[in-house]
């Protein structure tokens, strides 16, 4: 790891935690070392409460013993990854002038953006950042400053305009969709990235949408497994659901912002799954064009992201920018 300012990006997902150092490359950030990661156990006893119940408890979440245990596992995994990254920086003699980082996290954050109070796929952890910082101090890392908990959707999208390999490094409009345990979405408008929270009600998130009886996030998330995931009819349904979602995003952008969607960026993992799902000879771009034809909208360009750890990079980029932390998903 060379000399100069470094930023630490962290992605706290519902299944694993990843972190990496980044350094400046002109206006962009580039990796400054390996990616550190930890899987945290997924307890079979823990089932998240229904979202309306969680939202009603948002001010004071009532956590079960199992949910608390899952939260502790995530805190421990986060601290282990951060400790490894900080130890590695010291071992190679790096001068880390700016010991500063950002964390991408799932779920809805509290008003201070330091805790997770609503989560569809993982545990709620109201005092998450306080617990992480306290444990890191006990481990001998008192100088690490964490900017807060960023929206994972914003981080994954921000990466596309923060790297030389990003797909949205210029003017125009774009929509970013990454898939993992859940979905991460973002909008590129006015030369900056936005979360869907910027327009509540206008931009419903995938987990708030239904397609043919399926919650759209459950349909498209890569965590969907079992017999259905390998079924030809299910694969066709998933493809149809994705095209429908992309068409809805194009339509909403035109109707509410009077902007034609120019580029759609799909995450690497989602793109690979789609390629394996597609019947031979299927053209995803053509399928999208058919959905948009009745709406008389221009067909956006579909591209696959070149970034392997977008949320990690995006978290570091937002910390570097000193971006305001908001309580969003």
Q: How far is CA 170 from CA 20, 163, 314, in A?
A: 25, 12, 17
Strands 301-304 and 263-266: parallel
6-155+309-321 and 169-304 have identical folds: yes
Strands 6-12 and 116-118: unpaired
Residues in the chain: 329
Ramachandran area for residue 140 (φ above 0: left; ψ -120 to 50: alpha; else beta): left
**Residue 183 has what DSSP assignment?**
E
The residue ranges of every structural domain in the chain are 6-155+309-321, 169-304
Across the chain, where does the E strand assignment appear?
6-12, 16-25, 28-31, 36-39, 100-105, 108-109, 116-118, 145-151, 174-179, 183-189, 192-194, 210-211, 214-215, 263-266, 301-304
Pair 15, 40: CB distance under 8 Å: yes
Query: Of all residues in the chain, what percent are helix, strand and coil, respectively (each to 5)?
Result: 40, 20, 40
Q: For each of the chain's 329 residues, which pLDDT tens digit applies?
A: 556 678 899 999 888 999 999 998 888 999 998 999 998 876 667 889 998 999 999 999 999 999 999 999 999 999 999 999 988 887 554 554 446 889 999 988 999 999 999 998 889 999 999 999 999 999 988 777 888 899 888 899 999 999 999 999 778 899 999 988 888 899 998 888 888 877 777 888 888 899 999 989 888 887 665 445 567 788 888 888 988 998 889 888 999 889 999 999 999 988 888 777 777 767 777 877 887 788 777 888 889 999 999 999 999 999 988 754 444 44
Total-model pTM: 0.86
For the chain, how far is it from start to end, CA to CA, in angstroms? 32
pLDDT of residue 3: 60
pLDDT of residue 315: 95
pLDDT of residue 286: 82
CA distance 117 to 113: 10
> For 169-304, CATH number?
3.30.420
pLDDT of residue 328: 44
> For 6-155+309-321, CATH number?
3.30.420.40
Which of 207, 149, 185, 168 lies closest to 305 in space, CA to CA?
168
In the Cβ-directed half-sphere of 52, how many Cα atoms lie within 13 Å? Answer: 0
Looking up tokens 């910082």, which residue turns up? 133
pLDDT of residue 227: 44
Which residues lie below 8 Å from residue 325, measured CB to CB, with a gap of 6+? 109, 113, 147, 148, 149, 150
pLDDT of residue 205: 85
């Amino acid at each position: 790891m060379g000399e100069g300012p470094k930023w630490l990006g962290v992605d706290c997902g519902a299944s694993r935690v990843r972190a990496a150092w980044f350094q400046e490359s002109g206006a962009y950030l580039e990796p400054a070392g390996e990616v550190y990661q930890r899987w945290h156990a997924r307890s079979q006893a823990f089932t998240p409460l229904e979202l309306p119940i969680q939202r009603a408890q948002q001010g004071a979440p009532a956590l079960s013993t199992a949910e608390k245990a899952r939260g502790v596992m995530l805190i421990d995994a986060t601290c282990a990854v951060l400790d490894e990254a900080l130890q590695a920086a010291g071992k190679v003699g790096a001068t880390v002038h700016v010991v500063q980082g950002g964390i991408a996290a799932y779920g809805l954050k509290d008003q201070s953006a330091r805790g997770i109070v609503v989560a569809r796929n993982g545990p709620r952890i109201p005092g998450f950042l306080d617990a992480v910082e306290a444990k890191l101090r006990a481990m001998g890392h008192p100088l690490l400053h964490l900017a807060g908990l960023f929206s994972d959707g914003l981080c994954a999208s921000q990466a596309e305009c923060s790297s030389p390999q990003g797909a949205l490094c210029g003017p125009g409009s774009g929509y970013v969709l990454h898939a993992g345990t859940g979905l991460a979405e973002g909008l590129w408008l006015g030369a900056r990235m936005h979360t869907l929270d910027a327009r509540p009600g206008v931009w419903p998130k995938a987990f708030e949408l239904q397609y043919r009886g399926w919650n759209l996030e459950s349909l498209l998330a890569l965590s969907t497994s079992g017999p259905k995931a390998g079924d030809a009819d299910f694969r066709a349904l998933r493809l149809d659901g994705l095209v429908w979602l992309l068409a809805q995003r194009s339509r909403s952008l035109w109707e509410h912002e009077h902007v034609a969607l120019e580029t759609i960026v799909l995450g690497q993992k989602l793109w690979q799954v789609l390629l394996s799902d597609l019947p031979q000879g299927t053209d995803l771009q053509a399928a999208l064009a058919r959905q948009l034809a009745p709406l008389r909208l221009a067909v956006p360009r579909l591209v696959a992201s070149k970034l392997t750890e977008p949320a990690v990079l995006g978290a570091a980029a937002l910390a570097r920018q000193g971006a305001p932390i908001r309580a969003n998903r």
